[in-house]
Amino acid sequence: MRRLYAVVPAKVNLGLEVVRRREDGYHDLVTLFQAVSLFDLFVWTETGGPFEYIGPVGVARDRDLGWRVLAVAPDIDGWTGQLRVVKRIPMAAGLGGGSADAALALRLAFPDADDAELVRRGAVIGADVPFFVRGGTALASGTGTELVLLDMPTLWLVLVTPQIDIPGKTRTLYSGLEPGDFSDGANVRDITMSLANEMDLPGEVPNAFSRQLLGYPVIRYAYDRLGQAGASLVSVSGAGPTLYAVTDGYRDAARIAARLNDLDPRADAVYVVRTVAARGATPSVVAIADALRGR
């Protein structure tokens, strides 16, 4: 039985500033997107029969961004085999897992489209999807869809995802912004310049939602544990609740992760990850796209 595999990475936001609320109700922001080595897995299995899709466990089809993309593929009625999505990126965690799946699904659904077309299609699905089409590192502005692609040095990070469900999280956080939470994006641009020139990051990485998120005891607890474990530069990724610590390298990241587990082995999910460069249409993705079409 033939099987093919493809992966898509999570992201962190190395700083996120909300600049203003727009007249259309959305918000302009400035953020530095960075892909990291925590992956969702797409598995295609040859069955000899019509196409079957098995989405992430516990995700309804109408909320599954990957399925919403695949369902409008113009030739889906002729596909074959089984496609299963295995979630390894925590859901609703500020790591972009759903948007990442949608970006990979776009490459499967529209294999002949160039990146510019996929970015246009992705922007309709969600603000983070265009980044995942490109991958790597990107300075984003506007609603998050205006991207400047960058080359950055490798970083090692520790991710901690607290076990908390914030109902209507994104809407709640944006509606809870206060005047002091808004800024002009200069801090994120400074971070971008520092990384591009292989300089040390500033002592703080801003996130416009930090004030609200750290008001939840379970998130504050995870933040404090990172400090107790030796992390000196901690911030929130996206709309959280995942926190990340930027470290001095793999050994430092592994040491911090081990200390976290020693402090409370029953607590939140902990990951040691590194930054990932842009990937594009990898051979594994192309192979699945062809297999779906019986090629």
The CA-based dihedral angle spanning residues 103, 108, 112, 118, taken in that order and rounded to the nearest 10 degrees:
-10
- Provide the CB-side half-sphere exposure for 195 (13 A, CA): 23
Which residue of the set 40, 64, 101, 128 is catalytic?
A: 128
Domains in the chain, CATH or no CATH each: 3-150+280-292 (3.30.230.10), 156-274 (3.30.70.890)
User: What's the pLDDT tens digit per position in 208-217?
Assistant: 999 999 999 9
Assess whether 112 carries a catalytic annotation.
no
Q: Is 33 helix (H, G, I), strand (E, B) or coil?
A: strand
185 within 8 A of 30, measured Cβ to Cβ: yes
Residue 279, pLDDT score: 82
Q: What are phi and psi of 227, to 5 degrees?
A: -65, -40
Q: Which pair of tokens denotes residue 199?
A: 């300089």
Block residue for tokens 């310049």: 193
Residue 263, pLDDT score: 82
Which residue of the set 11, 101, 181, 252 is catalytic?
A: 11
- Cβ neighbours, 10 Å, residue 217: 10
Residue 45, pLDDT score: 98
Assess whether 87 carries a catalytic annotation.
no
Global pTM value: 0.94
How far is it, in rounded angstroms, from Cα 178 to Cα 23? 17
User: What's the pLDDT tens digit per position in 22-36?
Assistant: 988 889 999 999 999
Q: Is 51 helix (H, G, I), strand (E, B) or coil?
A: coil
Amino acid identity of residue 179, one-letter, is P
Q: Is the dihedral of CA 23, 96, 73, 135 positive or negative?
A: positive
- In this prediction, the residues of the chain whose per-residue pLDDT falls under 50 are none
Residue 12, pLDDT score: 98
132 within 8 A of 99, measured Cβ to Cβ: yes
Nearest to 181 by CA among 131, 239, 117, 227: 239
Could you check whether the bond before residue 206 is cis, i.e. omega within 30 degrees of 0? Answer: no
